[in-house]
Structures are given as structure tokens and as C-alpha cells.
Amino acid sequence: MAAVYDLVPRIAGLNVRSVLLCFIVFLILTFIVHRQRRRIKNPPPGPRSWPMFGCLPELVRDINKIPMHELFCSLGQKYGPVCLLYTPFGQAVVINGYEAVHESLTCEDFNWRSPDSSRELYELLRAKGIIMASGDLWKEHRRFSLTVLRGFGVGKRSFEDQIASESECLMHEIAAGNGKPFNPTNLFCNAVSNVICSVVFGKRFEYHDPEFTNLLYLLEDSLSHIAVGILLMMMPFLAKIPFFPKGGLPSLLQIRLNLKDIVNLHRDTYDEENMRDFIDVYLKDLQMKKEQGIETHLSDDELVAVVHDFFLAGTETTSTTLRWAHLYMLEYPDVQKRVQEEIDSVVGRDRLPKLSDKPNLPYTEAVIHEIQRFASIVFMSVPRFTTSEVKFRGYTIPKGTHIVSNLYSVTRDPSICDEPDVFKPERFLGEDGQVKKIPEQIVFGAGKRVCLGEQLARMELFIFYTHLMHRFSFKKPTDAESLNTRPKPGTVLTPFPYNICAITR
């Protein structure tokens, strides 16, 4: 008992010291926040910022009620197109509405990426690639990549046969199911990924290849823990705390390690007279610049990072769009029927659709546009970063601010599309029945950082979608529950898993 009494003063003293320490930290943070806010003249409006916590209490309260893309829209409705958020980890600006979003995407001052502190956790993640690069590193790699991809025919009509060949493999796998229910996620992901793999790796993978399956699993896992991943980017020291979740970073690292092995294999089998793929061309250009003493940002580690970016961007968004497309065909069978009737009338039953058929398939193309708009898969741009104080739309945005452009607010803007929450392909058709472009629909972004693979993605979507509509009718399994067309939160908006039956036509 005496021992217990002896502990009381220690515990009490510890509590006093802890409370005092917390109080001092609280005062310091309060001083910093208020000093920072006073220093900014005419900042954008935003939620109330509490000392030490910033606006996190309000954000956490709301995020438990609505998903992030809707939360961003609600901020725009409450505070206007430019909204400033203070957090304990720094400040961020959320931009809503077409005009403000388009201006932010094309603004030269917003072309920088945030310093990614999570890369300090793993040596191999320090390479930026293209998506997370800025300045001369980004310019050189984007320019080089565009040149090489075009050299391999990516985005050109000549590349159609390669996509069509993969589409045939996909349809063969689907037909083997004999109309039984199946989850299309893996098949769509495998097929779309193989298109970019054929250019970057010089080969396609069989759908059940264990190496390929593992890479796709790691990719999905790395994207499914976005909240923890963002937290670790902002506060990398948290990763050193035992039992603290590491988000998708371990999977991200493993992808880089696997891709590094592929690059090393290319290096071992490299033949200067036989350029097999993107990796070979990169290795050749890197070696040439080293021999000639030309200053360059190309490097072995950056090659792995660039290949990773291609693998990610060339797999996730297009395969997810196909998943949404077929879910919507189950939800709107009349749309599926009309698409099939149009394809049959133009193409017939003896061959598959081609890109040259597109001008004669206006309703089908309008459906593809509406799928992209309605799904809003990439609901926000990859965050930008201000390296200096910026004047934007009459406001002052401080240095070191993350800029988040809410693309979802554009696809749901009633001033651009009437009844934006209704799936209506006809909105993309003019009075003459031909496809009507809506320039405000910037699903691939805008400005200098517009999606590098936009042309390839458009080709893939048209070929895969029209081939599948031509060959199969897709139906909901008889014992399936009602369809869930709400998106699953994540880095991209994906549909919840569903089963589908493919009936050969």
C-alpha cells in the first residue's frame, strides 16, 4: 500500500508536467496560426480554424456523413469557388466550378507538386517519375515520354490493331464463362494493363500469370489506403511508431522493387540494335547522354518511377471506366440495347467495330462520354503546390499551399449540364444527331499537365466497349441484389464489386 501512495506524487507530477507541456504547445500553435492568418492579406474564405486543430474538427465531422468528392462540393456551395482550409499539417485550397477549376489547371503558378515527404521513408520512392515531378525533371521526362510513346504508335490509328488484339483475348476469356455470373474487375484490369505493358515492357502477360496478378494486386492495395497514405506523406515520422498503419506504402515499395527487377532484366538482355520497348529506349538515351557528358535528369531510379507511373495510369482509370460502363448497362438496359442496335446497323455481325466507324456511331460515342462524366472517376486533380505567394481570382494564396481542383464539381455543374445527376447520353448529341462536344467536360484535366495518355485512353475505351457490346449482351444475375451505383471512396471513384452475366449474341 505504501508503494502505491509513493506513486501518487509521481503520477500527479507527471500529469501536471504533461498538462503544462500541452498548454505550452497549444499556445505556440495558436500563436503560429494567428500570426500566419494575419500575415495573409485577403485570403480565400473557409471553415473556422481552431488553434492546434485547424478546421479538422469540422472536416472530420462532415467526412463521416458524406464522401470526400461531395464534401468538396459542399465547401464550394458554402464558401465559394476558392476555399482555404487550415490543418495542423499545413493549408490547402479546394477549388470548385468549371471556371475556377480550369483556371487553376492552366495557371503556371500551380504547376508544381508538393515535396513528398513519404519518399523519405524508402530510398526507392525518392524518384519522382512524371506524375509527382516538377520543374526541369518533369519537363524532360514528359517530353521524352511523349516522343517515345508516339514512336511506338501510341495514340495513333496504327496502334488500333494492338488494342483490338487484346480485346480479342478479353472476349475469349469472357466467352469461356458460358454466361455464368462473374466479377469483371480482374479481367478488365488485366486487358487494359496489357496494352500499356506491351509498350513499356515489350510483352503482354497471360491473365493468370502469377507475376502479373501480383503486380495488379499490389497496385490495387496501394490505391486503397489513400487516407493513411496522405497522412504519412504529411507526417512521415508516424511510420516509425509501432503498429501505426503504413497505408499503401509497403505495396507501393514492392511495386517499385518488382519493376526494378524488370528493368534490370532489360539491362542484362539489352541490344542497341533492337529497341523492344520504352525501357530499352530510355536505357539507350541515358547511356548516350552519359557518354557525351550531356546534363540530364534521366537516371536508373527515375526510369523505375516513370515505368511505375505508366503502369498505374495505363491500368487503373480505363479499367475502372469499363467497370462503370458495364454496371450502367445493367442499370440502363435500354441504353445497352440502343448501342447494340446502332453498332449492328453500321458494322453488321461479320466483323468487329473499328475506330473508322466512330463518326457513324454517334449514340455509342455519346454513351462513352456520359459514362466518363457520370462516373467522374478521377474526381480531383493530383494536388499542386505553391512555391511562392500567388494571387488567384482576387485572393492571396500563401506559399506552401496544396491546391486541390475538384473535377467532380465540373461534371455535376448544372450550368453546364442540365440534370447532372441523371444518366443521359443524349446531352452529348446535337440537333443533327451527331456528337456534340462539351468543352467544359475536362475529365482528362487541362493545361500543361493534362493527362499524357488521353488519346490512348480514348482509343481503348472505344475499342473495348464497342467490341464487348457487339459480342455480348450483359445482364444482371437472377439471384443478384439490387445494383449499387454509388462509388466506393478511394484515390479514384470505383464501383463496389458486382457480378455480371455475358450472353453471347
Task: For residues 464 and 467, give the distance between their C-alpha atoms in angstroms, rounded to a whole number.
Answer: 5
Name the grid cell of 172. Answer: 475469349
Same domain, 32 and 62: no
Same domain, 17 and 68: no
State residue 14's pLDDT score.
44
For residue 82, CA distances in Å to 74, 98, 403, 473 come to 12, 12, 10, 45
Same domain, 198 and 346: yes
Are 79 and 47 within 8 A, CB to CB?
yes
Name the grid cell of 251. Answer: 505495396
Q: Would residue 375 count as lying in a domain? A: yes
Q: Would residue 328 count as lying in a domain? A: yes
Same domain, 437 and 307: yes
Is the four-CA dihedral 481, 482, 488, 494 of positive or negative sign? positive
Q: Would residue 50 count as lying in a domain? A: no
List beta partners, residue 380: 406
State residue 474's pLDDT score.
97
Task: For residues 17 and 87, give the distance between their C-alpha atoms in angstroms, rounded to a whole number.
Answer: 26
Name the grid cell of 429. Answer: 448529341
Name the grid cell of 479. Answer: 439471384
Q: Which residues of the chain fall short of a pLDDT of 50? A: 1-14, 234
Helix (H, G, I), strand (E, B) or coil at 182: strand
Q: Would residue 343 count as lying in a domain? A: yes
Predicted TM-score (pTM) of this structure: 0.88
CA atoms within 13 A on the CB side of 308: 29
Same domain, 1 and 85: no
Q: Would residue 141 count as lying in a domain? A: yes
Q: How many domains does the chain have?
A: 2
Helix (H, G, I), strand (E, B) or coil at 444: coil
Q: Would residue 46 count as lying in a domain? A: no
Same domain, 21 and 165: no
Same domain, 24 and 63: no
Q: Would residue 162 count as lying in a domain? A: yes
SS3 helix, strand, coil % of the chain, rounded to 5? 55, 10, 35
Same domain, 347 and 418: yes
Name the grid cell of 309. Answer: 507511373
Phi, psi of 502 (to 5 degrees): -105, 110
Name the grid cell of 55. Answer: 478546421
List beta partners, residue 501: 475
State residue 188's pLDDT score.
96
List beta partners, residue 121: none
Alpha helices in 134-182 (DSSP H): 135-151, 160-175
Q: Write 16-22 long-range contacts (CB < 8 A, 24+).
A: none
Same domain, 127 and 13: no
Alpha helices in 2-134 (DSSP H): 2-39, 56-63, 68-79, 98-106
Same domain, 345 and 307: yes
Pick the closest to residue 258 from 214, 224, 298, 301 (CA basis). Answer: 214
State residue 7's pLDDT score.
37
Task: For residues 82 and 253, give the distance between their C-alpha atoms in angstroms, rounded to a whole number.
Answer: 35
Same domain, 339 and 437: yes
120: domain CATH number? 1.10.630.10
State residue 408's pLDDT score.
94
Domain around 206: 56-504
Task: For residues 219 and 101, give the distance between their C-alpha atoms in angstroms, rounded to a whole number.
Answer: 28
Are 96 and 225 within 8 A, CB to CB?
no
DSSP letter assigned to residue 380: B
Q: Would residue 51 count as lying in a domain? A: no
* Residue recorded with cell 470505383: 494
Distance of alpha carbon 215 from its chain centroid, rounded?
17
Same domain, 27 and 118: no
Strand 90-95 to strand 402-405: parallel, antiparallel, or no bridges (unpaired)? parallel
